[in-house]
Homo-oligomer: A and B are copies of this chain.
Amino acid sequence: MITLRWSRGLQFEAIDDHKHKIVVDTHKEMGGLDQGFAPMDLLLVSLAGCMAMDIVSILQKKGGRIDEFMIEADGVRAEGHPHHYTKITVRIKCQGDYKREDLVRSFELSRDKYCSVTATLSAAPELEFII
């Protein structure tokens, strides 16, 4: 579970069950104080983080040595409200000593079998609201 608590303006503090904290905010042109990640960027971090953990751990188990690993993620947003992502592009970059086919297979296993965030985005989970 996560808890999000209003700080001021459009700024919030999120806390997880292990007491990690992050500031959620938005850009100044949106009325925010721009002191933390915006929600739609956090969605991309969630997706990139989930895939990155899978790929790094699987590729290492296959005997690959990773020197640098990076994921860039960006989305195309609908023009009208609610400006949701219609498409998300994930770009995976890996430097080290490994077989190209092992990297590709690690990525495929993440995309098709292990990545919880990819699967959640594809499955359109039921949303329940209590107010």
Chain A residues in contact with chain B, CB under 8 A?
Answer: 1-6, 10, 12, 14, 16-18, 20, 22-24, 26-27, 31-32, 34-50, 52-53, 56-57, 66, 68-75, 77-78, 81-92, 103-104, 107, 111, 113-131
Are A52 and B116 in contact, with the CB atoms below 8 A? no
Interface class of chain A by DSSP: mixed
This chain's copy number in the assembly: 2
Chain B residues within 8 Å of A66, by CB: 6
Docked CA distance A14–B43 (Å): 12
Instruction: With both chains docked as a complex, state the minimum distance between the C-beta of A69 and any C-beta of chain B, in angstroms.
Output: 4
Are A45 and B88 in contact, with the CB atoms below 8 A? no
Instruction: With both chains docked as a complex, state the minimum distance between the C-beta of A122 and any C-beta of chain B, in angstroms.
Output: 6
Chain B residues within 8 Å of A87, by CB: 125-128
Docked CA distance A68–B8 (Å): 10
Query: With A75-B125, A121-B124 as given contacts, are A39 and B53 in contact (CB-CB < 8 Å)?
Result: yes
Query: With A40-B116, A89-B130, A103-B131 as given contacts, are A10 and B48 in contact (CB-CB < 8 Å)?
Result: no
